[in-house]
């Protein structure tokens, strides 16, 4: 799969699944921060490694839930509707990403162990390499979906079906993850996309579901970001 310029949500397509672009934008931002953090980590600085570990654990939870929702809900729904996507290739991509995630995790564990046992070694070097590999693979995969999959889904799945599928995706996520995931995603995207995201929720989702997601933004966004958002879109 070749790299490409990132696609973004646009007014050409309607429906709640336009937020697919937003979660991709947030994942792209987060994995880039993780790679940069890994590059700056110094051996013998446990605080730096601990901060990296916290960022990594959140990314691992989000990426695992996102990939499972794509394979188990979105792509399964497309299959039922006779819409062809390269599901086997996408599944392989997701499995490779999860293997990359595991590599970072096991190398972090090894780095902590070796840092205590062998003062002469540089234990975080392999973590840096694994974080770069995770970054490069994930960005290539996101770009592929944005070029070949998401536009087709938005074009061929009705807005009502998109809203129903989004509800299934939200419900399938671990309950303790969603309140963190929603403001994290919204904070990572451009202000115009943040407004469009909320307007999509309000237009597409049941009022109680939309209010719940907006509540997560109220609780989780920085105050200045929340004030800017509510100055542009009316929320309850």
Task: Specify the DSSP element, H or E, that contains 53.
Answer: helix 46-69
- At 116-166, the pLDDT tens digits run 666 545 668 888 999 999 999 999 999 999 999 999 999 999 989 999 999
Q: What mean pLDDT do residues 99-112 have?
A: 90
**Letter string b/e over residues 48-59, b meaning 16 or more CB atoms within 10 A of that residue's CB:** bbeebbeebebb
Neighbours of 80 (CB within 10 A): 8
pLDDT at residue 11 is higher than 60: no
pLDDT at residue 115 is higher than 50: yes
**C-alpha to C-alpha distance for 229 and 227, rounded to whole angstroms:** 5
Domains observed in the chain: 16-232 (1.20.120.520)
Write down the pTM of the prediction: 0.88
pLDDT at residue 4 is higher than 50: no
**C-alpha to C-alpha distance for 109 and 103, rounded to whole angstroms:** 10
What's the chain's length in residues? 236
pLDDT at residue 6 is higher than 50: no
- At 180-208, the pLDDT tens digits run 999 999 999 999 999 999 998 998 888 99
Q: What mean pLDDT do residues 94-111 have?
A: 92
pLDDT for residue 193: 93
Contact yes or no for 200/16 (Cβ under 8 A): yes
pLDDT for residue 5: 38
Shortest CA distance to 91 belongs to which of 60, 70, 77? 70
pLDDT for residue 55: 87
- At 21-79, the pLDDT tens digits run 999 999 999 999 999 998 887 665 666 677 788 889 999 999 999 999 999 999 999 99
């Amino acid at each position: 799969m070749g790299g490409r310029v990132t696609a973004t949500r646009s007014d050409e397509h309607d429906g709640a699944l336009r937020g697919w672009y937003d979660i991709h934008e947030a994942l792209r931002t987060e994995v880039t921060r993780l790679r940069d953090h890994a590059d700056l980590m110094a051996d013998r600085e446990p605080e730096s490694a601990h901060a990296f570990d916290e960022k990594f654990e959140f990314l691992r939870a989000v990426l695992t839930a996102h990939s499972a929702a794509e394979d188990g809900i979105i792509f399964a729904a497309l299959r039922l509707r006779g819409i062809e996507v390269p599901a086997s290739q996408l599944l392989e991509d997701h499995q490779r990403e999860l293997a990359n995630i595991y590599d970072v995790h096991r190398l972090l564990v090894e780095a902590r162990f070796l840092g205590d046992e062998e003062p002469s070694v540089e234990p975080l070097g392999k973590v840096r390499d694994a974080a770069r590999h995770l970054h490069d693979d994930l960005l290539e995969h996101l770009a592929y979906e944005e070029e070949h999959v998401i536009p087709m889904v938005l074009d061929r799945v009705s807005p009502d079906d998109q809203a129903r599928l989004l509800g299934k995706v939200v419900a399938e996520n671990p309950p303790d993850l969603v309140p963190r995931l929603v403001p994290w995603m919204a904070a990572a995207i451009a202000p115009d996309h943040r407004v469009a995201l909320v307007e999509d929720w309000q237009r597409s989702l049941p009022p109680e579901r939309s209010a719940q997601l907006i509540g997560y933004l109220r609780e989780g966004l920085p105050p200045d970001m929340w004030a800017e958002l509510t100055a542009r879109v009316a929320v309850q």
